[in-house]
Amino acid sequence: MGSFTLPRDLYQGKGSLEELKNLTGKKAVVVVGGGSMKRFGFLDRAVNYLKEAGMEVQLFENVEPDPSVETVMKGAKMMQEFEPDWIVAMGGGSPIDAAKAMWAFYEYPETTFEQLITPFSFPTLRTKAKFCAIPSTSGTATEVTAFSVITDYEKGIKYPLADFNITPDIAIVDPELAETMPKKLTAHTGMDAMTHAIEAYVSTLHCNYTDPLALHAIKMIHRDLKKSYDGDMEARDNMHDAQCLAGMAFSNALLGIVHSMAHKTGAAYTGGHIVHGCANAMYLPRVIQYNAKVEEAAKRYAEIADFIGLGGTTTEEKVAALVAEIKKMNDSLDIPKCIKEYEGGIIDEKEFMEKLPKVAELAIGDACTGSNPRIPTQEEMEKLLKACYYGEDINF
C-alpha cells in the first residue's frame, strides 16, 4: 500500500495571503522569524486579515535561523497559555519548522524531544489547533511537507523531524513574499529545492504520484533559478511554485544522502554553520556520481537529463551531462565548489578530518539515508564527505 499526504488546501498566486481572512477560529498564534516579514509589511497584513476573520492574535517573533530546541519549547509554552486554535507560521523555513515542533509540544506537553525524533512516531495532532504555513523563501517547501529540522546546539546535531501529522492544513504560496529574498538566499534556497526534486525522483520510495511533481519542479528550477537570482521577478514567482511542487514530491518520496550529509555537516564545525541549501548544492554532483553506480538510479538520472534536454546518447553520458549541468548552475549562482572554499575557508581542514568518522557515522544514521538508492558503508561515506571537502569527483 502507498499513501500520499498534502495540505488540504493550497492557495497560490499574488495576493493569496488575503485568504487568511477566511479562516474560521477564535485565536491564532503567528510565528515569525527575525523581522523581514515585519519590515516588508507582510506581518501586519497577516495579523489584520486574521483580525478581520474575527480572531484574537498573539505573535511569537524572532525565531532564529536553524531554530533551537529551546525556541521550540518557549513557543510551545506560550501556546499552552494562550490556547490558539490556529497556528499561522510565516517566513523562511526556520519559523515554519519551529512552529511545527511547537505545535506537537502544545498539543502534547508531556511528550519529549527524544520521543519525537523517531521518524513517523508523532502523536495525533489537530486536537487543539490547525496549522497554516506561509513561506517567504523558495526552497524548503516546509509549507507542504511532513518535516521540520530543529537544532540541538548543545549536541551540535540537526534533528530532521518527520511525520505526516505535521504536514500543514493550509499552505499559502504567495510569491510576493519571496520577492523580498536577497540574492544569496535565492541561490541557496533554489538549489535546496533542486536537490529535493532530484533526490525525490531517484528515491527508493518514489511513485507515480511523486514522479511528475519532481520532474516538473526540476524543469522549472532549471529554467528559472538563474533568472530569479539575477532579479527577474516573473522567474522568482515561478520558483515559488517550483519549490512547492518539489516539496510535494519529497514529502512523500522522501530524500537521500545529499540531505543526510547536509544535516550532519551543517552545525558540526566551530568555524560556522554550512548553510543548508549551499551544502546540498555542493554535495549533489558528487552524490549523483556515487548513486549512478546503481543501474536503476543511473537510468532515472538519465531520464532527468532527457527531460531538461541535456543531450547525450548512453545512460552514462546523460548522467555526466546532469552532473556537469548542476556544477554549471552552482557556478552561475556563485556557489562554492566545495566545503574548503565555503565562505573563504571557515571550515578548518584539520577539524573536518578529525570529525570525519563521527560525521560520516551520523550521516549514515540520518533519517534521509534509508530512501537513497545506494546505502553507503562507513568507508564510502567518509570518502564522499572528503570529496565534498576538496571538490573531487567520485568514481567508486
Closest residue to Fe ion: CB criterion = 192
Q: What CA–CA distance (Å, rounded) separates 72 from 61?
A: 12
Taking the complex as a whole, the smallest distance from the CB of residue 266 to Fe ion amounts, in Å, to 10
Count other C-beta atoms under 10 Å from residue 292's C-beta: 25
Residue with cell 550529509: 261
With a CB cutoff of 8 Å and minimum separation 6, the contacts of 42 are 17, 90, 136, 176, 177
Taking the complex as a whole, the smallest distance from the CB of residue 39 to Fe ion amounts, in Å, to 25
Taking the complex as a whole, the smallest distance from the CB of residue 192 to Fe ion amounts, in Å, to 4
- Residue 36 or residue 251: which is nearer to Fe ion going by CB? 251
Query: Is 331 buried (19+), middle (13-18) or exposed (0-12) by CB count in 10 A?
Result: exposed
Choosing from 174, 192, 237, 241, the residue that interacts with Fe ion (CB under 5 A) is: 192
Select the span of 1-9, 94-102, 188-196, 204-212 touching Fe ion (CB under 5 A): 188-196
Q: What CA–CA distance (Å, rounded) separates 337 from 126?
A: 44
Query: Is 158 buried (19+), middle (13-18) or exposed (0-12) by CB count in 10 A?
Result: buried
Taking the complex as a whole, the smallest distance from the CB of residue 195 to Fe ion amounts, in Å, to 6
Select the span of 39-47, 112-120, 186-194, 326-334 touching Fe ion (CB under 5 A): 186-194
Q: What CA–CA distance (Å, rounded) separates 42 from 266?
A: 30
> CA nearest 216: which of 187, 252, 241, 251?
241
Q: What CA–CA distance (Å, rounded) separates 153 from 290?
A: 31
Size of the site for Fe ion (CB under 5 A): 1
- Residue 174 or residue 192: which is nearer to Fe ion going by CB? 192
- Residue 28 or residue 242: which is nearer to Fe ion going by CB? 242
Select the span of 55-63, 94-102, 185-193, 293-301 touching Fe ion (CB under 5 A): 185-193
Taking the complex as a whole, the smallest distance from the CB of residue 367 to Fe ion amounts, in Å, to 12
- Residue 97 or residue 192: which is nearer to Fe ion going by CB? 192
Note whether 174 binds Fe ion by CB under 5 A: no
Contacts (CB under 5 A) with Fe ion, residues 283-302: none
- Give me the phi and psi of 221, to 5 degrees please: -65, -40
Binding residues for Fe ion, per CB under 5 A? 192
